[in-house]
Amino acid sequence: MAAAAGSRGAVAPPLRIAVASGKGGTGKTTVASSLALSLAQGEPGLPPPPPPYFLDCDVEGPNAHLFLKPDLRRRRDVLTSIPHVDAAKCSGCGKCAEVCQYHAIAVLGKKTLVFSQLCHGCGSCTLVCPEGAITEEPRVTGVLEAGRAAGGIPFARGVLDVGEPMATPAIRQLKKWAIPAPGPAGAVVILDAPPGTSCPVVEAARGCDYLLLVTEPTPFGLHDLRLAAEVAAELGMPAGVIINRDGIGDAGVDAFCAQAGLPVLMRIPFERTIAEGVAQGQTLVEIHPEYAPRFRALVATVLEQVGSQPMTSSPSGAEPVRRGRARP
Amino acid sequence: MKQLVILSGKGGTGKTSVAAAFTHLAAQGEPPMRAVLVDADVDAANLELVLSPRPLETHEFIGGPVAAIDATLCRGCGTCYDVCRFDAVLPPSGGPGPYDIDPIACEGCAACVYQCPEQAIRMAPQPAGRWFRSDSRYGPLFHAALRPAQENSGKLVTLVKQLARLLALDGGYEAVLVDGPPGIGCAVISAASGADLALIVAEPTAAGIHDMARVLGTTAHFRIPALVCINKADIYPQGASEIAAYCAANGVEVAGTIPFDPAVTEAMVQGEPVTAHAPDAPAARALAAVWQRVSAELLTQGG
Amino acid sequence: MKLIVTATAPDIDAAVDPRFGRGAYFIEIDTETGQWHAHENQAVNASGGAGSQAAQAVVRQGAGAVVSGDFGPNAHLVLAAADVRMYLLGTSKTPREAAAALAAGSLPEVSGPTSPGHHGGRGGQ
């Protein structure tokens, strides 16, 4: 899935925009998929640009496929490494259990028990075993899927198996698999993050260039937006806000954004037609095509905010090129 | 003493609004059901916003430790970097120097601690959040706030639930009502553990139906009986029928439907459950009917 | 039925990969609907036990039959234990051709390992 390096001139890592929210159900996926389609369409009258990549990182409840309708041709298992103890070599010393921070391995006499759902696959027990009795076996906890979606968008997602507790390995492996290597300047990757503010969101947002926070103008929305803004601060990422279902609640979110210096990049008024269309898997740009240029303008604003990034020099050693999309 | 957990799979379907209504209806019921309340959505704990709790106790929650490198002992061999599987070790930039740990990426496995030839790495406990016991209008409330970007939400969920359970048993309460988190992973598994009954709040959207199926798979996997209620049912009537058909095909009872109703948000803005704020609103009436069914089923579960 | 054919690239019309344990992709074809997708074989990079690992992945995918160029002893053991039938490629150049050849009954079925295996190739303990 790596993009080929440009034949001449600019090579840059893609611009990675993570769409998160704190509170669930504010419209992350609606926004992320609409954003991707708007970019894929390009400006009217001009040849369409290379479409953005889309990663659905909400591995516990992936929904973006309902909006972008990908043909998921490629799959890869999400694997974690679980220790396997060779009983013939095991001396019962218990060092493995001693180092395991998750109590995932227990030693009873010379018998060992592994609790695979507690295991984080860190490899520590394998390294410390003085008898070399531990090898690692792969265990599947989910699947990664990829293919082309609407608008020619390269789409990838992770799906955590039901009953599996840990989402973060699936998200980490999805990003490694599906985010393209540095290539022609102007490539964009949109990551649809899970709800919440804890480790799955952080895993999705890490390493991204910008955090787009989708909120609703209600007390629940505000409460969780504050937390999401703190995540952005912890990660040292610039952030901006989209207020979805504008008009249903109060002005608390606006007041917070003003006070926190968070730009409100777009407002999407509550409309029953939008709610009904989204319920059926329609993106905003299909319900109201006039949103497409607004989303493209939003990305241009994001680029400006991110824009003071280090220059990347081209392989030919010519003029350094500023990372980002060429303006139409 | 019975335990009810309210889940959804997808975020934003109305779990917390339903949970808040249930706490009110339980307390005001004829006869009242005395319940201890738990907000298990520790990432984004909203139940307190509609229950006006009076905080009684606040405690620090120490999460899993993270690694920290003593720069004076580090000789820059890079063994930690080779060993770490979570991209949490930061090599020195621009020339040789000590390595460093990214505390956000660190999963606390301590592999680097045991492998470091200089024993330059120690594990340091992390303040990961706080938990609270409060007194709300409708019963004692246990809730928590995980610091943003922290791990171990499952542990914190388990903690508040255990505390609630102990209080319920000691104090002769009839039930523990748990407002659960979205998703199906460790936080949900922790929230659902030990429940006698799960109520899945489903929304009739393509995404809502998809995630409802996954959370029903999760409750089935952990052998927790479940009921479904369809919230904002009139937004997409076809979706509501799909949910009903799915539930019928899978032997899951639909305990009721709740119409989309602006009164719910109005009540939230006023800091109250909708059943208290506007008891004659369509959503409030529907919630009362759902509670009737859910509470009856709850009392028959668990033996 | 789910049919798996090993291939060098993630496409039903790509060249077949004659190796089972270290074939780059498993092309999974639903013989009833013709629907297909490509599954990456992560045993490719295993230092040993690739055959066993690949076979377990195929069993997990619910395959009824596999077509490849050779099946080592570990792979054969796992697949046979799971009642997955094994066939050789014959003259098929692509997974699509292999699926057609299988439907026509022209692929030889395998009853034992076709090669002695490499690491740990003693057919399990």
Domains in chain C: ranges and CATH: 2-103 (3.30.420.130)
Do B100 and B120 fall within a single domain? Answer: yes
Do A215 and A92 fall within a single domain? Answer: no
**Confidence band, pLDDT 50/70/90 cuts, at residue A307:** confident
Residue B303 has pLDDT above 80, yes or no: no
Between chains, do C38 and A73 touch, taking CB under 8 Å as contact? yes
3-state SS string over chain C? CEEEEEECCCCCCCCECCECCCCCEEEEEECCCCCEEEEECHHHHCCCCHHHHHHHHHHHCCCCEEEECECCHHHHHHHHHCCCEEEECCCCCCHHHHHHHHHCCCCCECCCCCCCCCCCCCCCC
pLDDT at position B302? 64
Do B85 and B191 fall within a single domain? Answer: no
Between chains, do A75 and C37 touch, taking CB under 8 Å as contact? yes
Do B98 and B191 fall within a single domain? Answer: no
Last residue of a domain, one of B127, B161, B176: B127
Provide the whole-model pTM: 0.90
Do B198 and B256 fall within a single domain? Answer: yes
Residue A253, domain member (yes or no): yes
Residue A268, domain member (yes or no): yes
**Lookup result for tokens 């926070």:** A213
Do B205 and B280 fall within a single domain? Answer: yes
**Confidence band, pLDDT 50/70/90 cuts, at residue A9:** low
Tell me how far apart the alpha carbons of residues A259 and A266 are, in angstroms, rounded to a whole number: 17
Do A165 and A295 fall within a single domain? Answer: yes
Nearest CB to A160; choose among B110, B185, B203: B185
Do A112 and A256 fall within a single domain? Answer: no
Amino acid of residue A72 = L
| Cα-Cα end-to-end distance for chain B | 10
Mean pLDDT computed over every residue of chain B: 94
Interface of B with A in 181-220 (CB under 8 A): 181-189, 203-208, 210-211, 214, 217-218
Do B120 and B248 fall within a single domain? Answer: no
Q: Can you read off the two tokens belonging to residue A97?
A: 């259990």
> Angle B217-B131-B264 (CA atoms, 0-180°, nearest 5)?
60
Q: How far is C123 from chain A (nearest CA, A)?
A: 17
Q: Which residues make beta-bridge pairs with B135?
A: B54, B140
Q: How far is A312 from chain C (nearest CA, A)?
A: 33
Do B121 and B178 fall within a single domain? Answer: no
Nearest CB to B149; choose among A21, A163, A231: A231
Positive or negative torsion for Cα B176, B177, B182, B184: positive
Last residue of a domain, one of A113, A132, A151: A132
Neighbours of chain B (3+ CB pairs under 8 A): A
The torsion angle over the Cα atoms of residues A95, A98, A99 and A105, rounded to 10 degrees, is: 90
How many angstroms separate the Cα of B281 from the Cα of each of A217, B266, B276?
22, 11, 10
Region class of A243: left (phi > 0), else alpha (psi between -120 and 50), else beta = beta
Between chains, do A23 and B269 touch, taking CB under 8 Å as contact? no
Summarised one tens digit per residue, pLDDT across range A19-65 is: 999 888 999 999 999 999 999 998 888 888 899 999 999 999 999 99
Residue B223, domain member (yes or no): yes
Q: Can you read off the two tokens belonging to residue A307?
A: 């824009």
Nearest CB to C38; choose among A74, A77, A140: A74
Q: Which of B39, B43, B231 to mutate to test the interface with A (most CBs of A within 10 A)?
A: B43
Do A259 and A221 fall within a single domain? Answer: yes
Last residue of a domain, one of B76, B104, B127: B127
Positive or negative torsion for Cα B202, A150, A195, B192: positive
Query: Which of these, A206, A195, A225, lies nearest to A60 by C-alpha position?
Result: A195
Average pLDDT for B166-193: 95
Between chains, do B183 and A194 touch, taking CB under 8 Å as contact? yes
How do beta strands C25-30 and C85-88 pair? unpaired
How many angstroms separate the Cα of A129 from the Cα of each of A83, A104, A125, B107, B264?
11, 15, 6, 21, 58
Do A275 and A127 fall within a single domain? Answer: no
Do B146 and B85 fall within a single domain? Answer: no
Is residue A44 classed as helix, strand or coil in its secondary structure?
coil
C-chain residue closest to A72, CA distance = C37
CATH assignment of the domain containing B193 = 3.40.50.300
Do B169 and B24 fall within a single domain? Answer: yes
Do A59 and A202 fall within a single domain? Answer: yes
Q: How far is C23 from chain A (nearest CA, A)?
A: 14
Residue A198, domain member (yes or no): yes
Do B70 and B215 fall within a single domain? Answer: no
Residue B95: give the domain boundaries: 63-127
pLDDT at position C119? 59
Q: Give me the number of domains chain B comprises.
A: 2
**Lookup result for tokens 């989303």:** A295
DSSP letter for A196, please: B
Do A118 and A175 fall within a single domain? Answer: no
Average pLDDT for A219-231: 92
Do A123 and A26 fall within a single domain? Answer: no
| CA A166 and chain centroid, separation | 16
A-chain residue closest to B220, CA distance = A163
Does residue B107 belong to the interface with chain A, where contact is any CB pair within 8 Å? yes
Residue B132, domain member (yes or no): no
pLDDT at position B152? 79
C-chain residue closest to A75, CA distance = C39
Summarised one tens digit per residue, pLDDT across range B241-298 is: 999 999 999 999 999 999 999 999 999 999 999 999 999 999 999 999 999 999 999 9
Q: Can you read off the two tokens belonging to residue B297?
A: 């089923």
**Confidence band, pLDDT 50/70/90 cuts, at residue A11:** confident
Establish how many alpha carbons lie within 13 A of residue A117's alpha carbon, considering only the half-sphere containing its beta carbon: 9
Residue A120, domain member (yes or no): yes
CATH assignment of the domain containing B69 = 3.30.70.20
Tell me how far apart the alpha carbons of residues B180 and B157 are, in angstroms, rounded to a whole number: 9
Summarised one tens digit per residue, pLDDT across range C15-59 is: 999 999 999 999 999 999 999 999 999 988 777 788 988 999 999
Do A111 and A240 fall within a single domain? Answer: no
Query: Which of these, B110, B126, B122, lies nearest to B61 by C-alpha position?
Result: B126
Does residue B6 belong to the interface with chain A, where contact is any CB pair within 8 Å? no
Do B15 and B78 fall within a single domain? Answer: no
Do B90 and B218 fall within a single domain? Answer: no
Residue B259, domain member (yes or no): yes
Do A60 and A186 fall within a single domain? Answer: yes
CATH assignment of the domain containing A100 = 3.30.70.20
Residue B57, domain member (yes or no): no
**Confidence band, pLDDT 50/70/90 cuts, at residue A108:** confident
Residue A321 has pLDDT above 80, yes or no: no
- What residues of C are in contact with residue A138 (Cβ under 8 Å)? 42, 53
Q: How far is A80 from chain C (nearest CA, A)?
A: 12
Residue with the larger pLDDT of the pair A313 and A40: A40
Q: Which of C27, C28, C30, C39 to mutate to test the interface with A (most CBs of A within 10 A)?
A: C39
In the structure, do chain B and chain C come into contact, i.e. share 3 or more CB pairs under 8 Å? no
Residue A107: give the domain boundaries: 87-132
Residue A319, domain member (yes or no): no
Query: Which of these, B131, B143, B167, lies nearest to B20 by C-alpha position?
Result: B143
Do A109 and A158 fall within a single domain? Answer: no
Last residue of a domain, one of B95, B127, B159: B127
Do A97 and A243 fall within a single domain? Answer: no
Q: Give me the number of domains chain A comprises.
A: 2
